[in-house]
Amino acid sequence: MQQVFNVSVPVPDDVVIISKEEYLDLLSDNEQGKWWDIDNLQELLGLGRSKLINDILLNPDIKKEVDLSINPNGFIVYPRGKGSRYKILATRARKYFEENLVLSIILCKHLVEFLNVNQIDYPGYQNTLQNLYERGVQT
């Protein structure tokens, strides 16, 4: 039997509660036309620089989707030589990484590896994440 609790939470006058969809729209408006560097993308994804670059940005399947020189709907300008930097179109990057299943699978794999490497004992979570990762790879 489901229990229901009614709770009253005082909201300060300077705080506004909005839906997630409206919040994402506001973020998108704020990011419209802005270019990120690799640090911004790291922050969005919560990954280390080497994992982000080696496992995601240099992954050929992902690169063909996101590289502006390959795909006009992409959002990343890859470095052209030593000392040049990644340039990432913020709105498209956020949308792609929020919606892309392949990336979710890769991130899931890294989370499982993190739990294993750090010997974190959450067998229920590890099994669930491992199953998700394995199912994603098979599809």
pLDDT tens for each residue of the chain, 139 residues long = 788 878 788 888 888 888 888 877 776 666 777 899 999 999 888 888 988 898 889 988 889 999 999 999 999 999 998 889 999 998 889 888 888 755 666 666 777 777 666 665 555 555 555 555 555 544 3
Domains contained in the chain, number? 2
Tell me how far CA of residue 46 lies from CA of 39, 43, 50, 54, 84, in angstroms: 10, 5, 12, 15, 23
28 within some domain: no
| pTM for the predicted model, two decimal places | 0.55
- DSSP, res 14: T
134 plus 88 within the same structural domain: no
67 plus 108 within the same structural domain: no
38 within some domain: yes
22 within some domain: no
113 plus 134 within the same structural domain: yes
5 within some domain: no
CA–CA gap between residue 82 and residue 100 (Å, rounded) = 30
CA–CA gap between residue 86 and residue 104 (Å, rounded) = 22
Q: Which of 139, 61, 116, 119 is nearest to 129 (CA)?
A: 116
Q: Which of 89, 88, 94 is nearest to 24 (CA)?
A: 94
Q: Which of 96, 94, 88, 95 is nearest to 35 (CA)?
A: 88
26 within some domain: no
135 within some domain: yes
Quote the pLDDT of residue 75: 93
Domain that holds residue 133: 101-139
115 within some domain: yes
84 plus 106 within the same structural domain: no
33: left (phi over 0), alpha (psi -120 to 50) or beta: left
